[in-house]
Structure 1
């Protein structure tokens, strides 16, 4: 299994990312995760929607909470041609509870806890913690990665402006 170091830290401590590294310009890999009702959810890129894939460590942490709420607020302005998927290693029960408590209904939360299919396909699985590194990817309607931000410190928020600009450029 491919390992990468020196890219991400947790509280300043370097961690190892597992899986295949993805790049801007390549077709996004497919993956299978679990939705909040414990049903398998297969993501096949290129389904005719611009997609934001937001990888977070846990919705129960302050930064992931803020990030997911922010993308939920932005979703209304982006329109029906954009889908936002937030993926973590949280159990589906916890994601469902969090969404209900936070009033998040425009972002689809998905769990990678079972197989780490997403984390390994995108090179975002943290070896030392079996959590996902924080990253935001924007895919065009054909499933090509047009924007990628791997946040260097798990405790930092992503650059929302850059991600949202990438989306707006694809839907205008």
Structure 2
């Protein structure tokens, strides 16, 4: 169980993020067209998992915008923005914002992504949504970088996440 805060109040996640250097857990998530995608579908590309509670909050929306901007500059790298938002809401957000450089994926069907990556809140007002976290995975599915954002209302460290790709 990891402790984070929401507006200064302590809340908990199911556990800790996958270990750096280890294999990233496989997952199945839903794309905006309601098809299913797995982590292994991205083998051969570097993958940034931008994980957050809901695209309908300002900080989450900003993380999608920022990674969308950064992703346009990255070679052989895909940014996956993951929440439990319905695919319809994710598609509406991307359409309204002109988001084209990231893929929005939903964990709404069974929540297994949140459980296997230990990012679900286990208590507090946002339970069982995902906590704010970033996981960077190399072309072979190995974890290069993780960040469990300590204060849920704050943005992740974009620079550190992206620099992990340069140090690979």
TM range (shorter): over 0.9
CA RMSD of aligned residues (A): 1.5
User: What is the rounded CA distance, in whole Å, between the counterparts of 1:89 and 1:72 in structure 2?
Assistant: 19
Matches within 5 A, 1:1-172: 4-5=1-2, 7-18=3-14, 21-44=17-40, 47-79=43-75, 81-128=76-123, 129-170=127-168
Q: Give the CA deviation at 1:66.
A: 0.8
Specify which structure has the higher proportion of strand: 1
Secondary structure at 1:98 match in 2: helix
User: What is the rounded CA distance, in whole Å, between the counterparts of 1:49 and 1:40 in structure 2?
Assistant: 18
Per-residue displacement from partner, 1:58-102 (whole Å, max 9, x unpaired)? 1111111111101101111102x1011010010111001001001
Q: Give unpaired runs (5+ residues) of structure 1.
A: none
How many residue pairs get matched?
A: 165
TM-score, normalisation: structure 2: 0.92
Secondary structure at 1:77 match in 2: coil
User: What is the rounded CA distance, in whole Å, between the counterparts of 2:142 and 2:29 in structure 1?
Assistant: 20
Q: Where do 4+ consecutive residues of structure 1 move more than 6 Å?
A: none
